[in-house]
Amino acid sequence: MSSVKNVINDSYKLMLLKDYLREAIKEAGFSEVDIQKTPTGTRVGLHVTRPGIVIGRKGSGIRDLTKVLETDFGLKNPQISVIEITKPELEPSVMCNRMSQHLARGTAFRRAVMWTMQTIMEAGAMGVQITTSGKLRGDRSSFEKHSKGILPRAGHQATVIVSEDIVHVQTKMGLIGVRIRIARKERFIPEFELKAMKKEVKQKVEVPEEIEIVEETQIDPTKPRTESEVIELEEKLIETVETFEEVEEELK
């Protein structure tokens, strides 16, 4: 029973830690946290979209976060590493946080759903499913499920390809739950693969030695720096999204 209790306590502490990080580093686009216990301490990996916000000026953010993890959550000698997310639109936790902020600001839930689905599919997802439940329209609770693309629902492929996350939002109407499931193409594992096709692909990708590829990285000043700036830019674009009700009225 002691081992079972330890597992339950660790899971409960991890849940509290995730809830804290969602609010503490919300502007950095928090996605998930990895915890590994070592003989010298605890390794904590933070997956975020903007590492600079977490690190802070001269590492002040990391130092403050280390103290909180050590005192409030009981982690022994926490060693924090920040990992940048290259494609935030394909992370369910990031999109759940963005959609929850839209709902908290008063955006209609269907417009927020359609915009989120469109953003995820344009980023290169194989499929997406968004489920909203709670006080959506009136006093009575209800739920709606919207999907787009291909989304495996059972079997080994579903466990490998599909990732999901759930978030709860407190609005004026009441509590709303959002669940986003995303299927990524790069995680697809084909059952059969022809060796001849692999050779042809390699021949096409080969580059002559005389040609040198030079990549230049340019900083875009118009790019938003925090998640709040992303939400403000998206609010203007969400108004142009057509919902199913507007399409039905046009067809009548």
pLDDT at residue 181, as a whole number: 94
The most distant pair of C-alpha atoms in the chain lies apart, rounded to whole Å, by: 69
For 13-52, what is each residue's pLDDT tens digit? 888 888 888 888 888 888 888 888 888 888 989 998 888 8
CA–CA gap between residue 117 and residue 178 (Å, rounded):
13
For 60-75, what is each residue's pLDDT tens digit? 888 889 898 888 888 8
pLDDT at residue 221, as a whole number: 52
228, 27 Cβ separation under 8 angstroms: yes
Domains of the chain plus CATH, in order, are 2-84 (3.30.300.20), 88-203+223-246 (3.30.1140.32)
For 88-145, what is each residue's pLDDT tens digit? 899 999 999 899 888 888 888 888 899 999 999 998 899 999 999 998 877 788 889 9
Tally helices (H) and strands (E) across the chain. Answer: 9, 7
For 188-203, what is each residue's pLDDT tens digit? 666 545 445 444 544 4
Mean pLDDT of the chain: 79
Percent of the chain with pLDDT over 90: 13
CA–CA gap between residue 241 and residue 146 (Å, rounded):
15
Q: How many CA atoms lie within 13 A of 150 on its CB side?
A: 8
pLDDT at residue 53, as a whole number: 87
